[in-house]
Amino acid sequence: MALLTESSLRSMLGKGLPNPFPIRDGDKLTPAASDFLRERSIALQRIAELPNSIPSDIDSGYPSIPVGVSNLHVHLSPEHVEALFGAGYRLKPLRELSQKGEYAAHETVTLIGPKGSIPNTRILGPSRGATQVEISRSDGFRLGVSPSLRLSGDIQGTPGIQLNGPAGNIMLQEGLIAARNHVHLSPEDARKLGVEQGNRLILQTLGDRPVIFPDVIARISSHYSLDFHVDLDEANAAFLDTGDTVQLVGKNGQLSKFVKGGQRRAWKSSR
């Protein structure tokens, strides 16, 4: 039996939700999950076995967290949307993302660096207060720039870069980052996992190349859905794809301990 939540459904958006959506006898959907499917006109279909792509807690008893792989992209301020695409222009949603209210836009720009350019760089919406460009270190080699490793939104003192659009160009004085890996959690997710804002989580991947991420920042908001965000370089090194899951095996420098039956003991705080 599995409990399907809105967060688990959102984690599958990158690979596409099947319609009808398969569930097995005994599975339950939260009210938010039911509304999520209904709003998208996705029907339910009872089946004998559930596909392995549906995230669930793994047999070891460690909590599982869905993965979201982030390719290079741009967040634009309203002013820069108009500078690049024309006066009064508004971004057009292309597809939903795992986080509520966020979307990949139809629009793209070209990034221009000292050594090269990257065309067709996707814009994510809606527009936000300050423009931010998120690339991987490999993208930086192609462009000839060195992005600062920062959490999203922390752009003070970071390098700039040029953006070319169909209606104009802009030269950012700051805003170029390689996003530090992090986990988005709702307050309910955080309570269930025993996680607080700013905790440094220890995550372990599954599969043929096990990798431990020892210092993943927890970010908690009522607007968030459970998701482990890594850039393309990290995902490729760890053999991760969007929709995979990782194990939460510790936090703040301490590995969690389990007693017989998979019941988790209390976390040991390193503070």
Identify whether 3 is part of a domain: no
Cβ-based burial of 239 (10 A; exposed 0-12, middle 13-18, buried ≥19): middle
Q: Where are the alpha helices (DSSP H) in the chain?
A: 6-10, 31-39, 78-85, 137-143, 187-193, 232-238
Cβ-based burial of 263 (10 A; exposed 0-12, middle 13-18, buried ≥19): exposed
Instruction: Please indicate, yes or no, whether the overall pTM of this predicted structure exceeds 0.85.
Output: no
Residue 241 is part of a domain; what is its CATH number? 2.40.40
Maximum CA extent, the chain? 64
Identify whether 248 is part of a domain: yes
Q: Provide the mean pLDDT of the chain.
A: 86
Residues 169 and 189 in one domain: no
Residues 37 and 78 in one domain: no
Look at the block and give the residue holding tokens 């890996």. Answer: 181
Residues 172 and 128 in one domain: yes
Residues 98 and 172 in one domain: yes
Residues 152 and 163 in one domain: yes
Model confidence band, residue 55 (pLDDT cutoffs 50, 70, 90): very low
pLDDT digits 0-9 by tens, 101-141: 899 999 999 999 999 999 999 999 999 999 999 999 999 99
Identify whether 154 is part of a domain: yes
Q: How many CA atoms lie within 13 A of 168 on its CB side?
A: 12
Give the residue numbers spanning the domain of 159: 68-179
Identify whether 24 is part of a domain: yes
DSSP β-bridge partners for residue 68? 229
User: Which pLDDT does position 84 carry in this prediction?
Assistant: 98
Number of domains in the chain: 3
Residues 192 and 243 in one domain: yes
Residues 72 and 173 in one domain: yes
pLDDT digits 0-9 by tens, 61-94: 689 999 999 999 999 999 999 999 999 999 999 9
Question: Is residue 140 left, alpha or beta, with left meaning phi > 0 and alpha meaning psi from -120 to 50?
Answer: alpha
